[in-house]
Amino acid sequence: MRNNIIRMGLFVLIALAFSSCASTKKLAANYYYEHEQALNDLEQSYKTLYKQRPFSVEFTDRNLDYVSITFITDTLKYIYEFEWGEKRMTDSIRKYKMDTAKIVTLLRKMRDIHCVWINNLDYYVEGQKRNMIFLSMKPVLWKLPFTDKKYYILTFFNQPQYFDSEGRLLVNRRQRKIRRINDDIFRRINDRVCYAVSERFR
């Protein structure tokens, strides 16, 4: 009798694991469409500001009360961490001759949708350098078993991408090889946007 109870318990745990994995993918697949306007606005705002001066943003705590901004110059990267709303944050943004109001608006948009990291990443196709916008999300609704340490990653490409029959991102049209980004497999949302569920936020 006791062995039967143990077996039943193991069966339930395994079923929960598979169910939560499927539910996580379903949440990830729907997340972009539920926040499409906000995510597209965030990507476009960051792209515009990045052209003025390269930078990246990371929220470093669970409640998104501390933000780290990396300012990138021709020779060095300068990393600053601020408590949300402190005057030193706007002073530092101004120091690097960036649009303070627009940067603060970008940070506020990130907090609103629980985007913990945004950056511009370079990649190469047939020897040509290209770039994409990389966003990491930690959705507050992800409270399912086995998924609390997962991040929802979005990549915004400048050009339409190629995918296999399962919607997995490919290296290019001729080479039917899966493209991995930070060792994660990305899947199609549309021709230009892909997603992955990852244990790493970057």
The answer, yes or no, to whether residue 7 has pLDDT greater than 50, is no
* Domain edge (last residue) among 113, 144, 173: 113
Selected residue with higher pLDDT from 183 and 29: 183
61 and 86 within one domain: yes
196 and 181 within one domain: yes
Per-residue confidence band for 25, with pLDDT thresholds at 50, 70 and 90: low
At residue 15's C-alpha, the angle toward residues 20 and 168, to 5°, is 50
105 and 85 within one domain: yes
Torsion sign across C-alpha atoms 90, 95, 100, 103: negative
182 and 89 within one domain: no
**Residue 151 and residue 90 in contact, taking contact as beta carbons nearer than 8 Å:** no
User: Can you give the pLDDT at residue 28?
Assistant: 60
pLDDT above 70 as % of the chain: 79
- For the chain, the domain total comes to 2
139 and 127 within one domain: yes
Average predicted confidence (pLDDT) for the chain:
81
185 and 90 within one domain: no
CB count within 10 Å of CB 196 equals: 22
Per-residue confidence band for 30, with pLDDT thresholds at 50, 70 and 90: confident
**Residue 150 and residue 197 in contact, taking contact as beta carbons nearer than 8 Å:** yes
4 and 101 within one domain: no
Q: What is the pTM of this model?
A: 0.80
* Domain edge (last residue) among 94, 113, 132: 113
Q: How many residues comprise the chain?
A: 202
H or E stretch including 22?
helix 2-34
50 and 21 within one domain: no
Domain ranges, residue 145 = 1-34+116-202
85 and 138 within one domain: no
Residues 6+ apart with CB under 8 A from 133: 43, 46, 47, 118, 119, 120, 121, 155, 156
121 and 96 within one domain: no
Selected residue with higher pLDDT from 89 and 174: 89
The answer, yes or no, to whether residue 183 has pLDDT greater than 90, is no
Per-residue confidence band for 105, with pLDDT thresholds at 50, 70 and 90: very high
123 and 95 within one domain: no
109 and 43 within one domain: yes
* Domain edge (last residue) among 113, 143, 173: 113
Per-residue confidence band for 127, with pLDDT thresholds at 50, 70 and 90: confident
**Residue 155 and residue 133 in contact, taking contact as beta carbons nearer than 8 Å:** yes
Selected residue with higher pLDDT from 71 and 18: 71
